[in-house]
Structure 1
Amino acid sequence: MWFWGFLASGMALVGTVVQARSALAELVERDPLARSALAVDEFAREVPRWRLVSWLRHRRLLEQLKTESPAEASAYRRVWAAVWAWSLLATSALVASIGALLTPIFG
């Protein structure tokens, strides 16, 4: 019986990841500002966090860029909201898969 729960949750995990990639690709195609939001994210990752002073300076510059362009800041928040939502769904499917797998062992 546990096998079917594991299979279903594993398929949900794979389906969620595929759908997330598809939805984000469609968002980037449909919304020109989404492409800009991804560029902002790449710019944010240029300086590693372990270089704290440089990272803080870089972060302030990034926040200033976001305040200068509210439309791009909105697109950035929209893209990251989609990423967080899909990540939450994928994580819940992963937890369900692990739970289904461990239930016969510990249950």
Structure 2
Amino acid sequence: MTWYGEVTSEVATVKLDPHSALMSHQLGAIFEDEQKAGRPALTSIVTHKYGDKEPGKGFYEMARTLGYRFDEPYVFWAHRVQGIFKLRGRPDRCIQGQYGRRV
């Protein structure tokens, strides 16, 4: 898991603010690329550092733009995170189940 500020601190080619439109655009493009490749949303592991420690509203907006339908945003997000752990090396922390449905 990581947070927006940590991601921006790793970007060296442009000055990137964690709450900027450019950051949202970049995360959206990554989400879209991962969805097209049939993988769970890598961007699901990028969250607020404090408070709810969930992704911002842009994550859910992009998911809906990509055709995902869900009634419980937290459950949708949690399944994406579990999918990332399973795919990228944390299978001991995964729950069994579907990653969500696309319509």
TM range (shorter): under 0.3
- Specify which structure has the bigger relative contact order, considering alpha-carbon pairs within 8 angstroms and separated by 6 or more residues: 1
Instruction: Name which one, 1 or 2, has greater alpha-carbon Rg.
Output: 1
Tell me the TM-score normalized by structure 2: 0.27
Instruction: Name the structure where helix makes up a greater proportion of residues.
Output: 1
